[in-house]
Amino acid sequence: MNADKKVAFYTLGCKLNFSETSTIARNFVDEGFRRVEFEAAADIYVINTCSVTDNADKRFKTIVKSALKKNEEAFLIAVGCYAQLKPEELAAVDGVDLVLGATEKFNVTSYINDLAKNDIGEVYSCEIEDADFYVGSYSIGDRTRAFLKVQDGCDYKCTYCTIPLARGISRSDTLENVLKNAKEISDRGIKEIVLTGVNIGDYGKGEFGNKKHEHTFLELVKALDTVEGIHRLRISSIEPNLLKDETIEFVANSDTFVPHFHIPLQSGSDTLLKKMKRRYLRKTYTNRVSRIKEVMPNACIGVDVIVGFPGETDELFLETYNYLSELDISYLHVFTYSERANTEAIEMDGVVAKNVRAKRSKMLRGLSVKKRRAFYESQLGNTLSVLFESENKEGYIHGFTQNYVKVKTPWNPELINTLHQVTLSKIDDDGLVRFNFVDTEVIA
């Protein structure tokens, strides 16, 4: 019945969303559907939404229009965080036929009776308290590296964040299942796995449906380090208060875990960190960065930071800017604060004007460019391993070193998904690094 039906997917947001989209796509294929690229004409389009910023919300309508241009009779399905938070709003968008919430999204095919267009989108969305069970996911075939979901949900109550409302309580995959999924990924020839979740440092909580920790994040890391066939393991975003010295030291001595950390800061001002209800102050963050650099001098450290949070005066912003300027980090992910319904922050005084938020964001993005350039310059002359990506971008193939330096060389399809030793030689005008090959053999 479904053999001639084509389905395409579009993912907004984080690595966790990519891992879940890939799992949902495999479910469709198992049901007999044929997966095609989003740019192609399809019978069904599934859009996995994000609600971290206003921009992600607005992009949804643009993506819907893009899909309908390819096939105006296509059946459009919305899943993900925005679909859980504002299902009725999405269902009202012209062309949307079905909206599924946090638990329903993993059973998409069971909600499809026929592919006739609906006048108004149907909504199936649970109360977020019902999202108390765990569904494992990992991405395969979408990128050179695989995103492996190990944890979902969050018990933190940051005053700006809607993620607990969209994904529910903190809960984890079983260690046994994580290791099984990791082995499945490596058996498919994928050489790098990125661990992902909402709050992965909280791993172990809810592993068997209860609140206590059956395993710790360190135990997870140690277990994954023993899985045969994995060349690289990369830790995605992890809270500074949950990144322990023992984990840093283990990564420093591991042949598989790479020296790259992404650690959310959000603000360099203790005043604002307290208003945000973050679970650390600046001193803790400084200690994390110092410890990483002490045992891994060439480690890459990425930072999330929010600008324009209520109460962020010029002085408090400069406190963040100057702190980051002096800190030994490698790049920034800058988020402009946007008001989110049902958060504490939306009721706070000291609203920062939109044009001021934009100016501060531009300043920090400029600082990020300088930081990345300085980090890349510090790596010139080093011999590192590069995993090459699969896209031909204007005649070049790109790749990443283990410590996340992005490199380029003229397009050669034989390099796709291979690891090579290279010596970094110079930085091009586009900010990417050129190199000289050291080995002639692919690292097995």
pLDDT tens, residue by residue, 352-383: 999 999 999 999 999 999 999 999 999 999 99
> If you average pLDDT over residues 4-31, what whole number do you get?
93
- How high is the pLDDT of residue 443? 64
d(CA 361, CA 323) in angstroms, rounded, equals 15
d(CA 202, CA 215) in angstroms, rounded, equals 10
- How high is the pLDDT of residue 300? 98
- How high is the pLDDT of residue 441? 62
Question: Is 260-379 in the same CATH topology as 132-258?
Answer: yes
What is the per-residue pLDDT across 179-204, written as a single tens digit (0 to 9) for each? 999 999 999 999 999 999 999 999 99
pLDDT at 343 over 80: yes
> If you average pLDDT over residues 337-345, what whole number do you get?
94
Kindly tell me the number of DSSP H helices and DSSP E strands found in the chain. Answer: 12, 19
- How high is the pLDDT of residue 56? 64
| First vs last C-alpha separation in the chain | 42
The letter for the amino acid at 356 is V
pLDDT, averaged across the chain: 93
d(CA 353, CA 286) in angstroms, rounded, equals 30
Domain boundaries, given as residue ranges, for the chain: 6-126, 132-258, 260-379, 383-437
Q: How far is CA 223 from the centre of its chain?
A: 22
CB 273 within 8 A of CB 306: no
User: Do the strands 433-437 and 419-427 form a parallel or antiparallel pair, or are they unpaired?
Assistant: antiparallel
- How high is the pLDDT of residue 373? 98
Classify 132-258 by CATH class.
alpha beta
- How high is the pLDDT of residue 126? 78
- How high is the pLDDT of residue 274? 98
pLDDT band at 2 (very low <50, low <70, confident <90, very high): low
CB 310 within 8 A of CB 272: no
What is the per-residue pLDDT across 380-419, written as a single tens digit (0 to 9) for each? 999 999 999 999 999 999 999 999 999 999 999 999 999 9
Just give the CATH number of 260-379: 3.30.750.200
- How high is the pLDDT of residue 1? 52
Cβ-based neighbours of 100, under 8 Å, separated by 6 or more = 77, 78, 79, 83, 108, 111, 124, 125
Cβ atoms within 10 Å, residue 154: 22
Q: How far is CA 25 from the centre of its chain?
A: 18
What is the per-residue pLDDT across 136-183, written as a single tens digit (0 to 9) for each? 899 986 567 999 999 999 999 999 999 999 999 999 999 999 999 999
pTM: 0.93
Q: CATH topology for 6-126?
A: Rossmann fold (3.40.50)
% pLDDT > 90, the chain: 85
What is the per-residue pLDDT across 254-312, written as a single tens digit (0 to 9) for each? 999 999 999 999 999 999 999 999 999 999 999 999 999 999 999 999 999 999 999 99
User: Do the strands 383-388 and 419-427 form a parallel or antiparallel pair, or are they unpaired?
Assistant: antiparallel
The letter for the amino acid at 81 is C
- How high is the pLDDT of residue 16? 92
Alpha helical stretches, state H, 237-339:
245-253, 270-276, 282-295, 314-326
% pLDDT > 70, the chain: 96
Tokens of residue 171, six digits: 């809960």
CB 87 within 8 A of CB 99: yes
Q: Is 325 strand, coil or helix?
A: helix
pLDDT band at 117 (very low <50, low <70, confident <90, very high): confident
Cβ atoms within 10 Å, residue 37: 9
> If you average pLDDT over residues 207-232, what whole number do you get?
90
> If you average pLDDT over residues 35-43, what whole number do you get?
96
d(CA 304, CA 398) in angstroms, rounded, equals 24
